[in-house]
Chain A
């Protein structure tokens, strides 16, 4: 941000100070969490050292840090497909769920017909579904995207149906007195009032989409963080395994964070009943 052409030197300095203040503020606010995390890592190092635990069983934090440095290339090339799968799965899974929810709200018959099927699909263990999809779609990106999408799909469908129905009867009466069409009611009332429900689901979906992609990569895949986890486990490369797990977790947290930021920007009103 510092090389924005129009900004003068003074405002740039101001901005830097403001940025520093903000960073310090965040650090202070999250001090207990940071202290607890550092403490746990130190404890982990101490336990591994004190009980002389072999590296293949449980590597120390220092070993994991070395694994990051030594395997940076492998980790990077395997992270990219997982990000892509999780992202596309997130987009498609949620998109289908949102469209289906809109259909359900406008057609009671559609809801009665397909809601039980959606519940049944949700009931199939995702790990059991993975081999089936690999058999159908082969070993490429497609089965991974589908599994990541499926994992996002259900929470979003349930929340979105509830959200679209959350508009108060009085609001719907108001729209009727105004002779609003169904499309107008959807855009002006139902969709906006469903947003808090949608984002609650999207935050769940953000983290589970990464999990879905990794689980899909366990089944006969040659790329991705999931494949790397399997490979590192069978070869007793425990520090690499741990490094992969850390990256997967960070990935999920970053996605969660992005969704939270978008939510904070979009929903600046309080849902009805909370005032």
Chain B
């Protein structure tokens, strides 16, 4: 399941000293419901995500971390404030395919085989044919699914389905990958493996990744930075750097430094409650 050869697929961005801001969120508020029964999901959130960064978002349930991600993806209406994705509105960024989204459920179309699912983004939308797209076969090889091109989703395991979803997200060579608890429904062994592979994909492609999770070790292992949110209403608790060197392997989780990070995150999380 080696994710090799990705460097050829994606434009490589150096990881040192990112120059530009990928996502800039300013005084963002999101309210749901009508005037009588209003619910504030996010209140006055401001944060800058540098280009090429891997940022994990962590917080108690109901803190609005998924909502924040969906705002960036233009799936949720913004009540106040602004979001800019490479200097453009989320809608413009969506239409020019600046980002791709990976859901908790793989959301593969069950009547399409693996290859057809990966090719779906190339078949819909105005920018389908114009972009500089990756080769679906190479992408499938990268996520370890070479030879399974003709399998239907129900013939694959949950982990394999999520690999297909990741390959589908990368087909348009997005500059940002938005991931909403993508490994939340998987067993721990599969999840560990996909975590390691996702880090490799990130390092080889230089894609900016925003990753929502409710697992403390996952947030610490994957993130260069952790964006901690707190609930009622959802707001930023802390935007902290994870001081662990890259490349990281699963073994890093047994080190004192890693345990220090997770202990700190757990303390912050308890303060949120």
Residues of A with Cβ closer than 8 Å to B? 168, 170-171, 173-181, 184, 188-189, 192-193, 195, 267-272, 274-275
Q: How many residues of B contact A (CB 8 A)?
A: 26
Expressed in whole angstroms, the Cα–Cα distance for A168 and B101 within the complex equals: 16
Contact B110 A177 (CB under 8 A): no
Find chain A residues with CB under 8 A from B152 CB.
Answer: 268-269
> What B residues does A192 contact at CB under 8 A?
109, 111
Choose among A171, A178, A192, A270 the residue with the greatest number of B CB atoms under 10 Å from its CB: A178
Name the one of A174, A188, A272 contacting B123, with C-beta atoms under 8 angstroms.
A188
Cβ of A189 and Cβ of B75 under 8 Å apart?
A: no
In the complex, are the beta carbons of B110 and A270 less than 8 A apart?
Answer: yes
Complex CA gap A171/B112 in Å reads: 13
Please state if A177 and B105 are interface contacts (CB–CB under 8 Å): no
Please, which residues of chain B bring their CB within 8 A of the CB of A275?
153-154
Chain B interface residues toward A at CB < 8 A: 73-75, 94-95, 97, 99-101, 103-105, 107, 109-111, 120-121, 123-127, 152-154
Q: How far is the CA of A266 from the CA of B23 in the complex (A)?
A: 44
Nearest chain A CB to B97's CB is how many angstroms away? 8
Query: Please, which residues of chain B bring their CB within 8 A of the CB of A269?
Result: 110-111, 152-154
CA distance A62 to B99 in the complex (A): 75
Query: B120 is contacted by which of A176, A178, A268 (Cβ under 8 Å)?
Result: A178
Residues from chain A with Cβ under 8 Å of B123 in the complex: 184, 188
Task: List, in ascending order, chain A residues with CB within 8 A of B104's CB.
Answer: 170
Q: How far is the CA of A149 from the CA of B109 in the complex (A)?
A: 32
The reply to whether A189 and B125 form a contact with Cβ atoms under 8 Å apart is no
Say yes or no: A179 contacts B127, CB within 8 Å: yes
Residues of A within 8 A of B100 (CB): 177
- Taking a contact as CB atoms closer than 8 A, the residue among A175, A176, A180, A271 that contacts B110 in the complex is A271
A184 to B97, CA, bound (A): 17
Check B124–A173 contact: CB distance below 8 A.
no
Distance in angstroms from A14 CB to nearest chain B CB is 26
